[in-house]
Amino acid sequence: MAGRRPQMPMMQPQVIVLKEGTDTSQGVPQLLSNIAACIAVCDTIRTTLGPRGMDKLIVDSQKRVTISNDGATIMKLLDVVQPAARTLVDIARAQDAEVGDGTTSVVLLAGELLKEVREYIEEGVGAQVVIKGIRTAADLAVSRIRELAVSVDRSDAANFRALLEKCAATSMNSKLIGSQKEFFTKMVVDAVMRLDQEELNEDMIGIKKIPGGAMQDSLLVDGVAFKKSFSYAGFEQQPKAFDAPKIVCLNVELELKAEKDNAEVRVDKVSEYQAVVDAEWKIIFDKLDSIIAAGANVVLSRLPIGDLATQYFADRDIFCAGRVSKDDLDRVCEATGCRVQSTTAGLAAAHLGTCERFEERQVGGQRFNIFRGCPQAKTCTIILRGGAEQFIDEVERSLHDSIMVVRRAVKNQAIVAGGGAIEMELSRHLREAARQIEGKQQLIVSAVARALEVIPRQLCENAGFDTTDFITQLRARHAQDPERFRWHGVGIDEEAVADMYANFVWEPALVKINAITSAAEAACLILSVDETVTSQRSQDPMASSRPAPGHGRGMPMMG
């Protein structure tokens, strides 16, 4: 019709799903960006692997200095902010908590897996195809480790102890204490063997650090040792050593309590005030008398023991220590057979513990209370000595890793050879297995086989060897005769390809199984993420605390 106006096209309304300022990245570029971030994190700790690995000096925001080559410690202190790369921090912590050793290896493996499959992602292979291939390869590798692992019969005590010492020495090779591994290996194995062999609770091994002296001055106490707590006047008059003492552990305060602030007591006569004071004194004296009546020679309490009680015990030749930490008190109870009492009422000889000898002695510049020869000792204490504080901290971390490895070796007696030998054997096995697999999966399994070579390659690089020559030799030997050369790896001391099993470079099979499964899971997790949504608020933590303009009660300022 002539008078009709032309219809305007309908405008499509803009749909806003995310709040303004939200950053979104998606697709293959996002996946490649995540892979690049993970490889950058791996490059940071790459040089710490192996006996010739370097240390990292890290200064945190509080200017605290940490010197370490422990993968989990470095990853924790790096403060990684890239969301995908934080996955590597998590797997390093999980490896440290589960098996103690192999924290650097697990991060390197995860990074190398991503590096090897990156080219397939760039060429358009689907991420799910790559993930399936990595999982297939990880399953093949783990089953091969179980086939190769050598079990040691625990009934032969001498052989079993030798196995544990070899595993401990291997974990110390790459640490700061590698030069003193003979000294510390015996200490670590002794410590683990003194634990309850069913529970193997590592918390029952106390580690105390005293600056000064040499590393060889460190000692293992068969029982409990803890630093002398704060003491009141009269403490010097107490005896400092007992043979077969009776020990009581309390969670009771043994001092006159001060009145609370603004407390008010109304009395009409002086005698009433005196009755209040007398009642307070009677309460504490009743507590002290009941402890003495039970026959205790050593009194320990988590709460303060005041000057009155200290002098009272000193007059009766009794040793006391207040403000003892919960961990130390728990270990005293485990060792001596007593239980922490929350009241002194009804205290009897049955509630007391005992040991062969108690003494307070000087260790370095500090006084230590030491309980030896405990009948129910399922605990022990390692007292560490050393020059600098950072040095002792690193020794403690190294011993913790070795203790965890020995614990795992006690529970799972299966071992494999270290020094890159098991990784080269798995690489050969996966290459052969890949030939039987059809389609794109074959390429991914072959990529995982190449990624496993990162461990021996990095060991060579860190030691300053000719990497190409070593890796070529290892590939040739493992391919030539897998039965005869299966345990050949990088011999750091020989500076040549050597039989790692014959050289007693042994590791629990669980360390390798855990490292491969964790690395494969982390790689699959990162590959399965194709979009990152970053809220603006998370980048600006002060945004929520700032008041919005114009909502205050004051008058606006006139310009």
Contacts for 477 with CB less than 8 Å, ≥ 6 apart: 485, 488, 497
From residue 245, how far is each of 59, 241, 289, 327, 526 by CA, in Å?
47, 9, 18, 21, 59
Show contacts of 254-263: CB within 8 Å, 24+ apart.
254/284, 254/287, 254/288, 254/301, 254/303, 254/304, 254/305, 254/306, 254/309, 254/320, 254/322, 255/284, 255/304, 255/305, 255/306, 255/307, 255/308, 255/309, 256/280, 256/281, 256/284, 256/306, 256/308
Q: What share of the chain is helix, strand, coil (3-state, %, to 5)?
A: 50, 15, 35
Query: Catalytic: 401?
Result: yes
Q: Active-site residue among 73, 103, 170, 310? A: 103
Q: Is 22 exposed, middle or buried (0-12, 13-18, 19+ CB in 10 A)?
A: middle
Catalytic site residue from 104, 310, 354, 379:
104
CA distance 210 to 197: 29
- H-run or E-run covering 243: strand 241-243
The CA distance from 515 to 422, in Å, is 12
From 222, 328, 393, 401, the catalytic residue: 401
75 Cβ neighbours under 8 A, 6+ residues apart? 41, 45, 88, 89, 92, 93, 103, 107
| Backbone phi and psi for residue 293, each to the nearest 5 degrees, phi listed first | -65, -30
393: annotated active-site residue: no
Amino acid (one-letter) located at 437: I
Which of 48, 66, 70, 96 is labelled catalytic? 70
Contact 111, 88 (CB under 8 A): yes
First to last CA, the chain: 61
Active site residue 499: no
* Closest-CA residue to 416 (of 501, 479, 503): 501
Q: Whose structure tokens read 């022990």?
A: 380
Contacts of 290 (CB under 8 A, 6+ apart): 344, 345, 347
What does the DSSP assignment read for 371-395?
A: EES-TT---EEEEEEESSHHHHHHH
Q: How far apart are CA 402 and CA 417, in angstroms?
A: 16
Residues acting as catalytic residues:
70, 103-104, 401
